A and B are shown apart, each in its own frame.
Chain A
Amino acid sequence: MVMPDKKSNQFIVCPVCEGIGRNKYGISCANCGGMGSGKFYKGRFFYWGLNLSRVIIELSHLRKKIHQILNIIVYVIGLAGLLALAAWVYSVSNSADPEAFAFWREKNDLILIFWISVFADMFVIYRISEEERSQQKIMPLTYEEKNRNIALPDSWEEIRKLPGWRRIDVSKGLDVNASEAVERAFVLADRLGHKVDPLHVFIVILSDNQVAALFSRLNADGEKLAGRVKQQLERIDAVEGRTIFSGIAKEAFINSYTEALDLGQKKVMAKNFIISSMEKNDILREILYDIEIDRDKIMNVLTWFMVNEGLIASHRAYRASAAYKPGSNMDRAYTSIATPALNQIGYDLTVAAKWGRLEYCVARSEEIESIFQNFESGARGVILIGELGVGKSTIVDGVAQLMVKEDVPKIFADKRLMEVDTARLISGATPAQAEGRLMAIIDEVTRAGNIILFIDNIENLIGITSGNEESLDLSEVLAGAIERGNIYCLASATAANYTKFIEGKSLGGILKKIEIKEPVGNQAIQIVESKIGLIEGRYKVYFSYNAIEEVIKLSSRYIHDKYLPAKAIEILELVAVRVAKNKGPESLITKDDAAQIVGEITNIPVAKLTETESKNLLSLEERIHEQMIDQTTAVKMVAASLRRARAELREGKRPIANFLFLGPTGVGKTELAKTVANVYFGNEKCMIRLDMSEYQHPDSIKKMIGDAAAGITGYLTEAVRRSPFSLVLLDELEKAHPDILNVFLQVMDDGRLTDGQGRTVDFTSSIIIATSNVGAVYIQDEIFRGTSVEEIKRTLINEHLNKVLRPELINRFDGVIVFEPLSMENVVAIARLMINKIAKLLESKGIGLKVEDEGLRVLAKLGFDPKFGARPLRRLLQERVEDKIANKILSGELKRRDAVIIDRAGEVLTEKAKAI
């Protein structure tokens, strides 16, 4: 029989016994040899070979107890023997003759007991070392298994003939807790009359310590979870016959084993059952999804635990080997010389590492490997290039730690890594003195021969010369020494400084470049996770996994002037301080705590949507219309895109929305933008307004994005950098110079812009609205003629707009919205809005305002001009209403409790209040 899908991690089931492993008489199936089902994984075959029954479980408990008793007996005998010997020595201690203590020549009952106990001692040694040997149950994959295709058998017969190490009974690889969990799951299923399902396993492992810790890191309530799983368990129908492991339960166990194998564990632990149970049981998956837990999250917490365990284990190994590293400036062979000048200016990283003063370096083995490779291939100097906070110094610390462990290439063996502090080298010295210091150091390093220099921020050395212009630069002194092969040098610089100061100089030519990239995704999570322990210890709080993930996610999305992992660690520390203060010690930091702090730092409301906020968003149109009349299409489009943005249903790489508002003047384009800023960002001031008519000259780009040379910060970039969560209004877009408009191509597409200082400014949290008057007359005419808005829009874009704006720019807008000229009805409504505003002002002075509808209509008619929209209306109201009221207030005609009345003719009258 040919095995289908044997390579693709698929389960295969014995067709004879249908996966049960036994025939109907309860004897091992002849075809599969009792294996029933299983899967191939990386060249091995895995199956579940354990058949449980209540009796077997009870007996195995009995067996454990017997073994425990045996151990205790042996220990007692061993101890008794020693006591017997001690008692005998005490009995003869009065004798002065040393010969009297030769117990091996004495005949005595106590001595007999001792000699018998020696066998017990030997038995103890045997038991302990055999137990140690059995610790490694899961055989790690060999290099060959990892990388090559191994021929797999084609039938059950061939599987039966596989050697033991390739045909693995998964149940043998469980640790004590895991096998106990399996037994308890079996007992549970047996009691309920079920087959053993992953659900039974899952509910049982919830009481395991590590599993509980894992779910508490995921901020899940274990009891609630257990309750929900229990409900589901009750819905399973009971089956007749003996209790057995269901097929999916076996598959889940096998998957747990391969997961543990991939994670490099020695045994399968209860925590390995989580993912596999979840994958094999749909209901369980649904339950976990419901509380925002998925496979990736569990996996990342598992690796977090592994990282921590690995840290502890490697720390032990590290301390053991660090004991052999010399702690002084001498190498082991005493060939080096004293280095007083260097010791004064430098910091010995290897000594610091030996005493455990450096931070652990995690998930950076690739970068360290490439440093070593560069030196081994003949380079004398290597420069690490990366932004501030990506971990350059930590990588060098990692090198120092490896040097202490002597787990390094020969060039690094038995050497010291000295960090030269450029500040100390230069400070308080004239350039000539600084050069003298550097020369002295280089001399010492050359003669000592056991030193590798590390110069952080090497660009500080450049441009320091002694005397006149022709004399050597400090960096060239160093470059010369490296080139002659006298010293080994590690250096670091940020990318910008490298291009600015080092590239093209002699130093740049000599130092091999290694780029240290900002860690992303799981690498960043792992690095941060390795630092969490410290923060937790310091502030006595606990991080949920979600909080860490959230901080990394949000900081990489919203903070662009700093880099991972530093920026995430910084924020996590802030969160820890805040939570420790507010919630007290021992509290758990959740995703929301983290989001709140990120929100405060960036001024972006990143926290979960609150109920009131979501209600506000759902009624966005109504709220906009409270402040703004008509233009329903425009309002609808804007509101919809805002809702998409807030519910995070948009691509993260563009601004929230880009709109182009077209229409004649005075129809409410700017008004809508203002309203959106007010409604969505909570304040009209969250609007950055650029009158594009000020940017008519190509040079004015400097005004917009800044210029490092002239020391100008850009108006636009600086404003957005300070408050990324705001509305950018580009008024009268078509008036700007076309070159300037090109800048917005990138902004609208990638949501980022680099300012004159070289910083990246993030636009992904802003809304960009451009307005334009292009074709205003055309719109008016066509509307007048009764052409449909769609038609107008098409002609407008094709014939009018493309004359002033490039098609690619027009294309970048999410919506080109044509504002229709206002009708008389609209103007009346606008007039009412304006009057209401005046009424509000008057109310604060205790004066009422009554308006006759007729009067309002008269005012609206007077103030409306088809060419200028509603703009003249404001002027009219100023002249005819506000001015008159002002006069009346000043002349004392209007007092508190009086009322202003606008009559049918639109005239302003006063109504005196009744005297009291």
Chain B
Amino acid sequence: MFSQNFLTYGLKISGEIVRDILFFPLWWYSRGLVMFFKKLTVFLSNKQKSLALIVWIKNIFRPMYGQTDWQGKLISIFMRLMQIIVRSFVMLFWVIIALIFFCVWIILPPFALYEIFFQFY
């Protein structure tokens, strides 16, 4: 009884560990990839939120500071355009960063494998 239980259970444990190790590359490109992608989108949307880029674009023709005379409107459009351009650049920077990370995630395993091979040959 004892030995039988021990055997089945011991097998189960080692099976679990083997499964963990074998399953993990698959995980990297399936559930892991999706998870990482989601995290990046959250990161980008937070950056967007703090830059309020969409708010600026939406309000491009609305005068700033309640200045509804024509001079105010003119200056406002110009100012908003400037703001949108600057903020877009910042946003672009973050998008690129995110893209780089995403690419790294994808190519990291084959690249690491390649590097290990490279060390030997």
Q: Write the residues of chain A forming the contact surface with B, with a CB cutoff of 8 angstroms.
A: 53, 55-56, 59-60, 62-63, 66-67, 70, 104, 107-108, 111-112, 115-116, 118-119, 122-123, 125-127, 129-130, 323-324, 332-338, 414, 447-449
State whether B115 touches A66 (Cβ < 8 A): no
**Which A residues are in CB contact (< 8 Å) with B24?**
122-123, 126
Instruction: Indicate if the CB atoms of B115 and A335 lie closer than 8 Å.
Output: no
Q: Of A53, A122, A323, which is in contact with the most chain B CB atoms at under 10 Å from its CB?
A: A122
Q: Which residues of A contact B20 (CB under 8 A)?
A: 127
Q: Is B70 an interface residue (CB 8 A)?
A: no
Binary flags per residue of B26-49, CB closer than 8 Å to A gives 1, else 0: 011000100100000000001001
- Please report the C-alpha to C-alpha distance between residue A335 and residue B83 in the assembled complex, in whole angstroms: 14
Whose C-beta in chain A lies nearest to the C-beta of B24? A126
Q: Which one of B13, B66, B119 contacts A107 once the chains associate, using CB atoms below 8 Å?
A: B119
Given the contacts A129-B35, A323-B50, A104 and B115 also touching, CB distance less than 8 Å = yes
Contact yes or no, B56 A333, CB < 8 A: yes
| Identity of the chain A residue whose Cβ is nearest the Cβ of B68 in the assembled complex | A447
6 further A-B contacts with Cβ under 8 Å, apart from A116-B116, A449-B66, are A59-B10, A112-B116, A115-B119, A123-B21, A127-B20, A336-B66
Question: Chain B residues with Cβ under 8 A from A448's Cβ?
Answer: 66
Which residues of B are interface residues toward A (Cβ below 8 A)? 1-2, 5-6, 9-10, 13, 16-17, 20-21, 24, 27-28, 32, 35, 46, 49-50, 52, 55-56, 58-59, 62-66, 108-109, 112, 115-116, 118-119
B2:A333 contact, CB within 8 angstroms: no
Residues of A within 8 A of B58 (CB): 333
Which of A56, A60, A333 is packed against the most chain B CB atoms within 10 Å? A333
B residues in contact with A108, CB < 8 Å: 119
Residue in A59, A70, A334 whose CB lies within 8 Å of B17: A70
Query: Smallest Cβ distance from B49 to chain A, in angstroms?
Result: 5
Given contacts A115-B112, A324-B50, contact A66 B66 (CB under 8 A): no
Complex contacts, B115 vs chain A, CB 8 Å: 104, 111, 115
Q: Given A62-B13, A112-B116, A324-B49, A126 and B56 touching (CB < 8 A)? A: no
Top 3 closest A-B pairs, CB basis? Answer: A337-B66, A333-B59, A59-B9
Cα–Cα distance between A334 and B5 once the two chains are bound (Å): 71
Tell which of B1, B16, B28 touches A126, judged by Cβ atoms closer than 8 Å.
B28
Q: Chain A contacts of B112 at CB under 8 A?
A: 115, 118-119
Among candidates B1, B32, B50, B63, residue contacting A335 with C-beta atoms closer than 8 Å = B63
- Whether the pair A55, B55 counts as a contact (CB closer than 8 A) is no
On whether A337 and B59 interact (CB within 8 A), knowing A59-B10, A123-B24, the answer reads no
B118 touches A107 (CB 8 A): yes
- Between-chain CB contacts (< 8 Å), 17 pairs: A55-B5, A56-B9, A59-B10, A63-B13, A111-B115, A112-B116, A119-B112, A122-B24, A122-B28, A126-B28, A126-B32, A129-B35, A333-B62, A334-B64, A334-B65, A335-B64, A336-B66
- Chain B nearest CB from A258 CB (Å) reads 29
List the B side residues contacting A104 at CB < 8 Å.
115
Residue of B nearest to A127 (CB): B20
Q: Which residues of B contact A338 (CB under 8 A)?
A: 65
Give chain B nearest CB distance to A440 CB in angstroms: 15
Distance A118 CA – B116 CA, assembled complex (angstroms):
10
Distance in angstroms from B55 CB to nearest chain A CB is: 5
CB–CB B9/A66 < 8 A: no
Given that A55-B5, A333-B59 are contacting pairs, would A125 and B119 also be in contact in the complex, using a CB cutoff of 8 Å?
no
Chain B neighbourhood of A335, CB < 8 A: 59, 62-66
Residues of A within 8 A of B52 (CB): 332-333
Q: Name A55's contact: one of B9, B28, B35, B109 (CB within 8 Å).
A: B9
Residues of B within 8 A of A63 (CB): 9, 13, 16
Best-buried of B64, B115, B116 by chain A (most CB within 10 Å): B115
Q: Using CB atoms, name the residue of chain B closest to A107.
A: B119
Of A60, A130, A337, the most chain B CB neighbours within 10 A belong to A130
- When distances are taken between beta carbons in the complex, the residues of chain A under 8 Å from B35 are 129
Known A115-B116, A332-B55, A335-B64: A122·B109 in contact at CB below 8 Å: yes
Q: How many Å lie between the Cα of A125 and that of B28 in the bound state?
A: 9
> Once the chains are docked, how many angstroms separate the CA of A53 from the CA of B118?
51
Complex: A66 Cα to B64 Cα, angstroms: 64
| A108-B115 Cα distance, complex, nearest whole Å | 11
Contact B55 A333 (CB under 8 A): yes
Contact status of A112 and B119, CB under 8 A, knowing A126-B32, A337-B65 = yes
| CB of B19 to closest CB in A, whole Å | 12
The smallest C-beta distance from A72 to any residue of chain B, in angstroms, reads 14
Residues of chain B with a CB closer than 8 A to A334's CB: 59, 64-65
CB of B1, distance to nearest CB on chain A (Å)? 8
Give the Cβ gap from A568 to chain B, nearest Cβ, in Å: 40
Q: Report the separation of the CA atoms of residues A60 and B10 in the bound assembly, to the nearest whole angstrom.
A: 10
Which A residue's beta carbon lies closest to that of B1?
Answer: A55
Chain A contacts of B27 at CB under 8 A? 126, 130
A residues near B2, Cβ cutoff 8 Å: 55
Complex alpha-carbon distance, A129 and B105, angstroms: 15
CB distance from B69 to the nearest CB of A (A): 13
Chain A residues whose C-beta falls within 8 Å of the C-beta of B16 in the assembled complex: 63
Are the CB atoms of B109 and A59 closer together than 8 Å?
no
What is the CA–CA distance of A118 and B63 in the complex, to the nearest angstrom? 53
**A59 engages B65 (CB within 8 Å):** no
CA distance A108 to B120 in the complex (A): 10
| Least CB distance, A447 to chain B, in whole angstroms | 5
In whole angstroms, how far apart are the Cα atoms of A118 and B49 in the complex? 34
How far apart sit A641 and B58, CA to CA, in the bound complex (Å)?
A: 76
- Does B116 contact A59, Cβ atoms closer than 8 Å? no
Q: Which residues of A contact B108 (CB under 8 A)?
A: 118, 122
Instruction: Note all chain B residues with C-beta closer than 8 A to A116.
Output: 116
Beta-carbon contact of B116 and A66 below 8 Å = no
Q: Are B55 and A59 touching (Cβ within 8 A)? A: no
Q: Which residues of A contact B49 (CB under 8 A)?
A: 324
The CA of A333 and the CA of B59, in the complex, are separated in Å by: 6
Task: Verify A59–B32 contact, CB threshold 8 A.
Answer: no
The complex places the Cα of A126 from the Cα of B59 at a distance, in Å, of 43
Q: Which residues of B contact A130 (CB under 8 A)?
A: 27
A335 to B50 Cα, complex, angstroms: 17
In the complex, what residues of B have CB within 8 A of residue A127's CB?
20
Closest to B66 in A: A337
CB within 8 A of B13: which of A59, A115, A336?
A: A59
Whether the Cβ atoms of A55 and B6 lie closer than 8 Å is: yes
**How distant is the Cα of A127 from the Cα of B58 in the complex, in angstroms?**
43
A129 to chain B: closest residue by CB: B35
Q: Report how far A332 CA is from B2 CA in the complex, Å.
A: 69
A55: B residues at CB distance < 8 A? 1-2, 5-6, 9
Report how far A107 CA is from B118 CA in the complex, Å.
8
* Residues in B neighbouring A118, C-beta threshold 8 A: 108, 112
Shortest distance from the beta carbon of A135 to any chain B beta carbon, whole Å = 14
Residues of the A chain whose Cβ atoms lie less than 8 Å from the Cβ of B63: 335
Provide the residues of chain A in CB contact with B21, threshold 8 Å: 123
A448 and B64 alpha carbons, distance in the complex (Å): 11
- In the assembled complex, the Cα of A414 lies from the Cα of B55 at a distance in Å of 11
Complex-state Cα separation, A55 to B12, whole angstroms: 14
Question: Which A residues are CB-close (under 8 A) to B17?
Answer: 66-67, 70
Alpha-carbon distance between A62 and B21 when the two chains are bound, in angstroms: 19
**A73–chain B nearest beta-carbon distance, Å:** 11
For B13, B28, B62, the residue with the greatest tally of chain A CB atoms inside 10 Å of its CB is: B13
Nearest CB in chain A: distance from B63 CB, A: 7
Cα–Cα distance between A449 and B52 once the two chains are bound (Å): 19
Residues of chain A contacted by B46 (CB below 8 angstroms): 324
Using known A-B contacts A56-B5, A335-B63, determine if residue A111 contacts B119 with beta carbons closer than 8 Å: yes
Distance A335 CA – B77 CA, assembled complex (angstroms): 12
Give the distance to chain A from B111, nearest Cβ to Cβ, in Å: 8
Residues in A with CB closer than 8 Å to B50 are 323-324
CB distance from A328 to the nearest CB of B (A): 12
Q: Closest chain A residue to B109 by CB distance?
A: A122
Partner of B6, one of A59, A111, A324, A336: A59
- Taking CB atoms, residues of chain B closer than 8 Å to A111 are 115, 119
Alpha-carbon separation in the docked complex, A124 to B64 (Å): 50
Q: How far is the CA of A43 from the CA of B28 in the complex (A)?
A: 36
